[in-house]
Amino acid sequence: MIVGGHAWSRFVAVVRCQSTKTGLIPRIIRVCVRGKMQAPKNRGYVGAVESAMEYLSDIMLDSSLLHDSSFIDGRCVEPIDSLPLEHHAIQMPSRGDQGREGRTGTFLVMDPSTRTDEEAVLVELVDGGEMAAHYAVDVAARMFEQWRAVSVRNRASLLRKWSELIRNHAGDLARIICAETGKTVYDAYAEVQYAKSYVEWFAEEALRIQGDYSCDPEARVERVAVGVVGLMTPWNFPAAMVTRKVAAALAAGCTAVLKPSERTTCTALALADLAVRAGIAPGAFNVVVAKDPALVSRVLSTRKEVAKLSFTGSTAVGKMIIRQSALHVQRLSLELGGNAPLLIFSSADISETVSALVSNKVIRNCGQTCVSANRILVHDLLYDRFLAKLVQRIGELEPHNFWDNPGEDPCSPNPDASRFFGPLIHQEAVEKIELHIADALHHGAQLVCGGKRIPKIGLNFYEPTVVVGGQPCMKAFGEETFGPLFFIIRFANELDAIRLANDTVSGLAGYVFSQDSGQCSRVAQALDVGMVGINTTAISDCRMPFGGIKQSGYGREGSKYGLDEYLYLKYVRGSLSASSR
């Protein structure tokens, strides 16, 4: 059978669906010639011989957004000796004795939505390693003075053009996010809009970079771009985490070297491509593709040209970056792990609370967010009614595998979007939830619903799970679960709830549900966190400062304060002498 054109992706999707039902895995072979994304070679398993991302390109309006290697100085660059001869690669310059260091060939990215091990490969990427990181720093350092000299009005205009291109390519970007993270198309499209909002916001904030003048006419304070910045982003928001950092850095006049998660690199590469198309100077925004983030982190934290690091990820890695950055006393912004408490008091509206909680713990990336409610504290008087309503709402949810209908239009509204949820990112995430559930049950908790995998939908799908009888001694209380586990703890009074909520080394976000305005105000003040949602879990907003305290890090992203992270204050004093006027 010969299938070509845009029919290919739908053909493969149907075959995969039918093969799952019958238990047979057909051998699908496609011969094609592409200039950018290539099918993996020698993957070592029987099944479809091209990557999932390859046939995703057939339903994209602009498949040229798909790249598989580092994007530096406005173009894709690859170690020339790690590629087939048909690639017209740009060889990155060697760095003395390091020469071939970092030329480690390629690496495979696994599909979080896969149903079988045979379909597990999402895409094969070129591993730039340390050499790509060094090259990107060199390019960003060379470009810094030129980009800083661009007027704030022109920088703002370029950022607005970037935002417009993100809007125009929202459907394609959403599909890439779906493929890389497993998010539902509606969740992915919402992330693209959220990512775009940061570019729009910082385009306008660029116009507000101004200094201060005092009553002394000879003194002024200037706000100056810090220089080259190293940015490291996680996999759970592959678009929004990128624009939140990069747009702020570019607006301030900095040049950027980004190391995205190795699991969600294609989204970052697409955004970098759109930035160059918008007219942002090649070399102002560079993306390093590498399998080992520690290697790139070491380069960014030890090169004296890098003035600042901004990292979003685990607390353990954040502590390592703090130690590494001491060499050159780099400025740091760290958004680290969360362990958010959600407090439900007796006057809370049950329907409103359950709706917000389910959206936070399941609908939005299957609970894989740093502001996901990890510990749910419920007042004794509301406990039974809340639990019944929560279990009822969970029963209405359905798992959604993106590959069942990859041609679905992400831009079309769907009234049933609040019913669907996607997979966890990998098997380790599934195993962590199972560990937390087993530990809780071992210490006396009870399983109310869920607690099982959903293999017929995909290997990484897991049922939303409710566990009651939670205690501080359990792993789910002290560790961030990062998944659809509702870990419920009862409390008797307000002081008891606050004590339990603050009993953690983290301090990113917290939530209060109550119809008592005085109580909301008191508890919000008492919570040791950087952000509080009152009768809502939707706290992320480009206009507001995002960040935490304690071991959740320091610094802020978004808002006018997020721009300050990429500027330093310069005090200037003096005047022109009378003879020089």
Task: Please identify every residue annotated as catalytic.
Answer: 335
The helix, strand and coil proportions of the chain, stated in percent and rounded to the nearest 5, come to: 40, 20, 40
Residues 85 and 468: their CA atoms lie apart, in Å, by: 59
Token pair listed for 374: 């990890």
Evaluate whether 480 touches 338 at the Cβ level (below 8 Å): yes
Residues 226 and 84: their CA atoms lie apart, in Å, by: 40
Burial environment of residue 518 by CB neighbours within 10 A (0 to 12, 13 to 18, 19 or more): exposed
- Find where tokens 């329907």 sit: 351
Evaluate whether 56 touches 175 at the Cβ level (below 8 Å): yes
Evaluate whether 516 touches 346 at the Cβ level (below 8 Å): no
Token pair listed for 273: 């491509």
Residue-wise DSSP of 493-513: SHHHHHHHHH-SSEESEEEEE
Residues 16 and 26: their CA atoms lie apart, in Å, by: 8
* Neighbouring residues of 250: CB distance < 8 A, sequence distance ≥ 6: 147, 155, 158, 159, 202, 256, 280, 284, 285
The candidate with the shortest Cα–Cα distance to 46, out of 138, 117, 144, is 117
- Find where tokens 């009614």 sit: 385
Token pair listed for 225: 């771009």
- Find where tokens 């679905």 sit: 408
* Neighbouring residues of 73: CB distance < 8 A, sequence distance ≥ 6: 139, 282, 283, 286
The candidate with the shortest Cα–Cα distance to 66, out of 113, 10, 122, is 122
Residues 335 and 565: their CA atoms lie apart, in Å, by: 13
Dihedral Cα 141, 143, 145, 146, nearest 10 deg: 180
Evaluate whether 8 touches 60 at the Cβ level (below 8 Å): no
Dihedral Cα 268, 269, 271, 272, nearest 10 deg: 120
Token pair listed for 529: 């966190």
Evaluate whether 167 touches 124 at the Cβ level (below 8 Å): no
